[in-house]
Amino acid sequence: MRIRSTLSLTLILLAGAGLAACGHNMEQRAASGAIAGAVVAGPPGAVVGAAAGAVVNEASKPNR
């Protein structure tokens, strides 16, 4: 049973990270990440999702 719940949690987290990558600018990515996090884990998940969206935004910027 533990393996099954760990697998489910991993899939949910990956889906949330994928949704955090949606958007064209930082506000959109942070907002979509916050919504995904809130659905999965409530208010703490919203904070983590918004942070993940911001990180994805910074990682996707080209090096200058």
CB-based contact 48:37 (threshold 8 Å): yes
pTM of the model: 0.62
The model's pLDDT over 7-60, given as tens digits with 9 standing for 90+, comes to 777 777 777 666 666 778 888 888 888 887 888 788 888 888 888 888 888 887
